[in-house]
Amino acid sequence: MSYLVIDFHVHPKRSSKLIINEILEEMDISGVSHSVLLGKDFGGSIKRPEIKNWIKDAFLKSDVASHYWPNGVSSRSFSQLEEAWRELEYYLKERASSSPTSLKELAEIVNTHPDKFTGFGSINVLQDEEYVTEKLRELNTLQLKGLKIWPFLFNPSENENLRMVCEDFEKRRKILLVHTGCGPGPWEIPELAKYCNPKYLEPLAKDFNDLPIVLAHSGYYSRDNPGIFFKDALELSRKHENVWLEVSAVPDVVTDPILADKVKDAIGGFDRVLFGSDYLEYMQITVHVIKKARHLKDEDKAKILGLNAKQLLGL
């Protein structure tokens, strides 16, 4: 059976370099007809004292710190703690500032390949209201269809700038894509990834019930604790019909029969499940394993791989 395939999660850069030709080539090999390209705007949030202090406190109270210092962090000298923190802080700064993709840059790519790409911008909602308002105006002027956020550093339900974006998006019928689950490097530490639990999106899902909220990675992603927030993702999608699951980097969510049954039970089928690859190297294999999943009906595979995304994106 031939399937329409739309990748809902593609990063246009690798190590600060655009890889559009590589993406187009991989799409052709993988049978992907259209992809959602994601912007990235973290800015200098890590430098803000209140955020820096929160991260430092969470790190020192984490299981990771307990593993290295089983007698408690107080058993280590101040200089040793400061050295560990400096290493973490450096990584966070480097990770946050690497490979930014501006709204304008993203729009230029989409306009060059309108049949191949849809653009979801990124706005650092931890900046001041003036900055976010201006970036939101730019995003709408450039006709980008959605926004990707990474709530590692803030509670999404308490961020007024994000609520402003949600109100605007609901009126304009745009889409909010939210990272859920852990992340690379220090973001694998559960205490640092706590706000990437889908449960913190509940107030937004309730207050903006006409706004599609897509849970990137379905709350499942974690190298050390796979499925870390999956239960919360299922519960949120069960309660709110505007919440969608997306399986980038975690195809097991639909290719594992037990997990797929949980998804099916939560949302009554696969009508709100989207294929995504995340890393370019995952595109072909993720398409393949979904197509080969014996427990999925052809109609369910078709929905997951592309038909659901086509409907949501209005293609």
Q: DSSP string of 160-185?
A: HHHHHHHHHHHHHT-EEEEE-S--SG
Quickly tell me which residue has 């997990």 as its tokens: 259
Is residue 198 situated within a structural domain?
yes
22 and 76 housed in the same domain: no
Longest dimension (CA), the chain: 63
Task: Return all residues near 51 (Cβ < 8 A) that are at least 6 apart.
Answer: 45, 126, 153, 154
Total number of domains constituting the chain: 2
- Which is it for the CA torsion 146, 290, 199, 210, positive or negative? positive
The SS3 assignment for 178 reads strand
205 and 302 housed in the same domain: yes
What predicted TM-score, i.e. pTM, was given to this entire model? 0.92
Cβ 185 vs Cβ 230: under 8 Å:
no
Distance in angstroms (rounded) separating the CA atoms of residues 75 and 71: 6
Helices (H) and strands (E) in the chain, counts: 14, 10
71 and 107 housed in the same domain: no
Burial call 77-90: b when 16+ CB within 10 Å, e when fewer: eeeebeebeeebbe
Q: What is residue 62's DSSP assignment?
A: S
73 and 154 housed in the same domain: no
- pLDDT for position 115: 97
Which phi and psi angles does 253 have, rounded to 5°?
-55, -30
Domain C-terminal end among 57, 79, 95: 95
125 and 167 housed in the same domain: yes
Residue 176, H or E segment: strand 175-179
Structural domain boundaries enclosing 294: 6-43+100-313
- pLDDT for position 217: 98
199 and 273 housed in the same domain: yes
Angle in degrees, CA 306, 308, 313, rounded to 5? 90
Cα separation values, 55 from 89, 95, 154, Å: 9, 15, 10
89 and 176 housed in the same domain: no
- pLDDT for position 74: 43
Residue 311 identity: Q
pLDDT in tens, the chain (315 residues): 899 999 999 999 887 788 999 999 999 999 999 999 999 887 666 667 787 777 777 777 777 655 544 444 444 444 555 666 666 666 666 555 556 789 999 999 999 999 999 999 999 999 999 999 999 999 999 999 999 999 988 999 999 999 999 999 999 999 999 999 998 777 888 888 999 999 999 999 999 999 999 999 999 999 889 999 999 999 999 999 999 999 999 999 999 999 999 999 999 999 999 999 998 999 999 999 999 999 999 999 999 999 999 999 999
Residue 241 identity: E
Beta strands (DSSP E) in 64-165 are 117-121, 146-149
- pLDDT for position 78: 44
Q: Which burial class, exposed, middle or buried, applies to 163 when counting CB atoms under 10 A from its CB (0-12, 13-18, 19+)?
A: middle
Is residue 50 situated within a structural domain?
yes
168 and 73 housed in the same domain: no
Candidates 138, 141, 147; CA nearest to 118 is: 147
- pLDDT for position 41: 87
31 and 165 housed in the same domain: yes
Is residue 1 situated within a structural domain?
no
Distance in angstroms (rounded) separating the CA atoms of residues 37 and 33: 13
124 and 263 housed in the same domain: yes
Domain C-terminal end among 77, 95, 113: 95
Per the structure block, which two tokens stand in for 213? 């909220």
Is residue 288 situated within a structural domain?
yes
Distance in angstroms (rounded) separating the CA atoms of residues 281 and 188: 21
115 and 254 housed in the same domain: yes
Is residue 158 situated within a structural domain?
yes
Is residue 286 situated within a structural domain?
yes
- Which is it for the CA torsion 170, 171, 173, 175, positive or negative? negative
Half-sphere exposure of 290 (CA within 13 A, CB side): 36
Cβ 221 vs Cβ 182: under 8 Å:
yes
Residue 56 identity: K
Per the structure block, which two tokens stand in for 114? 């309108």
Q: Which burial class, exposed, middle or buried, applies to 298 when counting CB atoms under 10 A from its CB (0-12, 13-18, 19+)?
A: exposed
Domain C-terminal end among 72, 95, 118: 95
- CATH (domain of 216): 3.20.20.140
211 and 283 housed in the same domain: yes
